[in-house]
Amino acid sequence: MNKLETDILKILQEDCRIAPAQVAVMLGKEEAQVIAAIEELERRGVIVKYTAILNSEVMEDELVQALIEVKVSPQKSSGFDAIAEEIYRFEEVTSCYLMSGGFDLAVFIEGKSLRSVAQFVSERLSTLDCVLSTATHFILKKYKIEGTIADKEDEARSRISVHA
């Protein structure tokens, strides 16, 4: 990855709403050069998706979110990939990661209620042949989301104390 691509990614990670023209000005490059670099990053799969990070605690339609630790029995021919794919295809699953340590997969899900999450785990996830065990952890409060402090007042206090 070249310096231009790295610089563009840093800017877009901070705020993906910044237009290529503005990125070009920030980096002292031509807009066409920035657009071409972004398109190349998308083509290579470096940029997977542009999204807004939401703080569900201040939204009226709160969803229940959970992290599920999953131990699985890997498949002979495909290892963890096949079972991970089977799990991440469930619509409730928002993220799925292969992990080191005491469990194999970290699965993040969203449901409309505690009951819906419990039903997902007991009726859909734990019944898969390769799943050996699960441990469900409900997310109670978010302090920092994808590198951003969730409580704007806390963030302002942090900035004041750092600069004071």
Q: What is the pLDDT, as a whole number, of residue 55? A: 67
Q: Which residues of 39-76 are buried (b: 16+ CB within 10 A; e: fewer)?
A: eebeeeeebeeeeeeeeeeeeeeebbbbebbbebeeee
Question: Which one is predicted more confidently, 58 or 120?
Answer: 120
* CATH number of the structural domain 56-138: 3.30.70.920
Q: What is the mean pLDDT of residues 72-97?
A: 94
pLDDT of residue 83: 95
- CATH, domain range 3-43: 1.10.10
Give the pLDDT confidence of 15-62 residue by residue, as tens digits: 889 999 999 999 999 999 999 999 999 999 999 888 776 666 666 667
Q: Do 137 and 68 contact (CB within 8 A), yes or no?
A: yes
Q: What is the pLDDT of residue 67?
A: 97
Q: Where are the domains of the chain?
A: 3-43, 56-138
Could you check whether 3-43 and 56-138 share the same CATH topology?
A: no
Q: Please state, in angstroms and rounded to a whole number, the distance separating the CA atoms of residues 30 and 20.
A: 9
What's this model's pTM, rounded to 2 decimal places?
0.68
